[in-house]
Amino acid sequence: MNRKGLNSFEAFSLSFGGQAPFTSMITYGTVALQMGGTFLPIATIIATLIVLLNGLVVYKLSSDFSDEGGYFTYAYFSLTKRLGLVTGWIFLMYAFTYAGTLIAGSIYILKSVTSQLLPDDVLSIPIIAFSSFLILKGLNVSVKYSEFVSVAEITAIVISSVVLLMKPHHTFQLMIPQDIFLVTLFAIGVPSGYGNISPMGGEVKDAKKTLGIVTVSVILTGGLLSALLFYATSLYGTDFVMILKENVSFLLPYLFFSALNGGILGGIAYVIAMSRVIYAMGIRKMVPTSLSYLTNGRPLNAELASIMFYSVLLFALIHFLGVYTTFDLLGEFSMLTYLLISISADISLLRRAIKRSWADLSLSFTALLVSIIVLVYSIVETSSPVINYVLALFLIFGFFYFEVLELAKQTRWRYD
């Protein structure tokens, strides 16, 4: 892997860029603002605290593990091989759905600003192609891109918030929505974007120290900035994009640029994270070992497999469902899978903390309890039961795949 390693600022930029806060607000926030109204800023603070709990768990685990694989590695060594594989399996779905949500959000932004005449799938081709091209150019190019886009997104959020708060607006009137947990689930979408950096432990300098600091910094920065802008927009109504168009029109070219590139960067960061988990699983022979081969210090085969999977599946979804439905469905999927991998990390720390640290034990138990509660209520309030069915089938297939893998190994040993 890259032995030079990313410094703390580069790791922060890539993780924060993967979070793509401004684009996430347009994707997750557009749906959440319509459901939650003025409750959304409060939901975002709650969501940030929930994500921070799980981020602190990752902080603790990353101090024990600095290899590639992130959540997969934590579960593989702290729990069992089976749970490690299933966690890696779920992470791949999380990485795709989060990347897909942000890329679909970029296409939605492009469609809302440019001509409505072009079909969604035609608009998706240059966005998917450009993000794939940057991934193939290598990590250094993606990091430089992330440093530039991250600053642009922070600036866009701050300026938009200040302008909206300075203009005459309605007084804040709290509205309590019916689906509180579903609103909170979508609000989790912004700060939870930190998850792309932990699978890249082997490519970060002093990873045992840096990963934890970057994780907490990204969660707090993204969560608090999004709460600020959600509060500012909720004073004007529930149509996030229209509010920006009508009240921050002089900044629209810059906002468009920031959101479009932020979504592309988020997709890039998570496809890279996906490839590192595939690479780590390949090393442990849970996927074809050819996916663990290195080319000039990078897992090129794993990257190519990730790009192919992400490009084909995302294009197919946009073609058949349209871009808005795609980012709506993938947004819910990504948050449910985020909670599942967080639960796996919580259990990993819980097991390691027994007889070792009361502080870690309390942290992991609290994070586990909160994540389970939010997951259960979110599944109950999910907008479409199809999401729950697909998620259940995906988990069952993961366990089935492991059993087939073990059976194949036993058969090979018998004949050897």
Burial of 244 (0-12, 13-18, 19+ CB in 10 A): buried
Model confidence at 2: pLDDT above 80 = no
**Pick from 93, 187, 96, 85: which is nearest to 390 by CA?**
93
**Pick from 38, 103, 50, 14: which is nearest to 238 by CA?**
38
Distance CA 122, CA 110 (A): 12
Distance CA 401, CA 416 (A): 22
Tokens of 64: 């024990």
- DSSP letter for 175, please: -
Burial of 28 (0-12, 13-18, 19+ CB in 10 A): buried
Model confidence at 46: pLDDT above 80 = yes
Q: What is the mean pLDDT of residues 92-97?
A: 94
332 within 8 A of 303, measured Cβ to Cβ: no
Hey, which residues does 68 pair with through a beta bridge?
A: 200
Q: What is the mean pLDDT of residues 393-413?
A: 78
C-alpha gyration radius of the chain: 20
**Pick from 330, 23, 335: which is nearest to 186 by CA?**
335
Q: Compute the mean pLDDT over every residue in the chain, rounded to the nearest whole number.
A: 87
The H or E element containing residue 47 is helix 40-62
pLDDT digits over 186-201, tens only?
Answer: 888 778 878 888 888 7
Distance CA 200, CA 218 (A): 15
Distance CA 399, CA 15 (A): 30
Instruction: Report pLDDT for 282.
Output: 93
**Pick from 204, 171, 211, 273: which is nearest to 57 by CA?**
211
| % of the chain residues with pLDDT over 90 | 37
Tokens of 219: 């969660």
Cα-based angle 314, 316, 318 (whole degrees, multiple of 5): 70
pLDDT digits over 164-184, tens only?
Answer: 999 877 777 888 887 788 888
State the pTM of this model.
0.90
Instruction: Report pLDDT for 412.
Output: 63
Model confidence at 76: pLDDT above 90 = yes
CA dihedral 328, 378, 278, 264 (to 10 degrees): 30
Q: Would you give the distance in Å from CA 204 to the centre of its chain?
A: 19
158 within 8 A of 221, measured Cβ to Cβ: no
401 within 8 A of 85, measured Cβ to Cβ: yes
287 within 8 A of 76, measured Cβ to Cβ: no
